[in-house]
Chain A
Amino acid sequence: MSEPFMYMRKKKNKYYTALAIFLVFVSILGYMLLTSFYPKLSLTGKIIDEVRPNSTITISAELGIPELKVSGDFKSVKLSGNSESPLYIEGSKFPLASKNNFLVFENFTGDVNFDQNEISKISGKALRVSVNGVPMEPRIKGTTLKISVDNFNYNDLGIEDEVVIKEISYSTSGSININNGKNIFSLDGEQIIVEDFVGDLKILGGKFKLDGFVKKLDINGKSAITISS
């Protein structure tokens, strides 16, 4: 191969390398700015949206409380209970009165872990926080407040719009209403598997209430029932 040709090829390769590095830099910078200033554009949101169209079976259930971890973007998370566990907002500690605390996190993004005894962890960010009716907002409008609560003894919990649960599998008692009363199942210590739930979740009076859509429901007890879309 002639030397001028080699030189030209080397120069071209050098140009393409520089261009590739610059494009990677611009992509990272753009992605960082977009995801920070427009969090709704995140990839996670897109994946969660895709679950919904497949989950077409309407479900309304009142069951025992499972041990569950939910995470995502929710319109609101409301909880009440008697707990002395402190609430942390932007790293600052807010001691809670031991009786009748009512907390509301609006436009919450994060994780909620609970079982039948306590909410073991709430961690995430919210646009607005209300503690016993006192609202708190970030100083800069449009930004979020970083919040966390650990080991909260709760009475009620409500997560609205929209909880996505990939799968719950546990043994429970209660009732499940499918497709607005077309099928009603009463459970008595039976094993259930709920797949791809999308909807609202509430814990009221020691009952775990689901209201939304599922893709598949399995009941294994006295009789084996499978409903899928």
Chain B
Amino acid sequence: MAEGGVLKIRISRKVYLPIYIMIFILFVTMGAIKFQGKEISIIAFRSVLTFSIAGMLWAEVHRLKNKYEINDHAVVHVKGLLFKTIKKTDIHALSDAQLSQNPWQTILGIGNVSANAFSEITSLKNINSPHKVINFLEEKMNRKSGMPAQNTKGGRKS
């Protein structure tokens, strides 16, 4: 994940678990129908294939559309695949960082990390290992402000 002080992150694939579960249910149902010796209509079979392929593609494209990077100077959010919007928030300007997790995210081990610069908020949504990410971000913020690194779990408030 980290490359010489730079952390590059994408949305976790765990977010798309409901899509994968739906595809799994469709294939298990098809298997059960075949096991019972019943015929599956060609339209149903094609629909299952189309839904599965479209679902996987959509999930992957959606994931690739958001890229986050934390380096020594800024928190960068690159949004879009063909038409990109790049939002940079200077580490100097960051006042605090916040980690939030709903129950579903806690179970899956993912979360949202917000880097707050006054009224400007850069959110790193649905990322893996959010605790490690917030610690990494804090380390960068502390290094910039000349403070010694702290190891906090829930976040930091300056």
Contact = CB atoms under 8 A, between A and B. Distances in A.
Partners in one complex: yes
B44 A35 contact: yes
B36 A140 contact: yes
B155 to A, nearest CB: 21
Given A28-B44, A32-B44, A42-B41, A143 B36 contact: yes
A32 B26 CA distance: 9
Contact of B48 (A21, A32, A42): A32
B40 A32 contact: yes
A218 B43 CA distance: 36
B41 A29 contact: no
B37 A140 contact: yes
A201 B18 CA distance: 52
Majority-rule SS of B interface residues? helix
A195 to B, nearest CB: 27
B38 interface: yes
29 contacts: A18-B18, A21-B55, A24-B51, A25-B25, A25-B26, A28-B47, A28-B48, A28-B51, A29-B25, A31-B41, A31-B43, A31-B47, A32-B26, A32-B30, A32-B40, A33-B29, A33-B33, A35-B40, A35-B41, A36-B33, A36-B39, A36-B44, A37-B38, A39-B39, A43-B43, A125-B39, A139-B37, A140-B37, A143-B37
Interface of B: 18-19, 22, 25-26, 29-30, 33, 36-41, 43-44, 47-48, 51, 55
Interface of A: 18, 21-22, 24-25, 28-29, 31-33, 35-37, 39, 42-43, 125, 138-140, 143-144
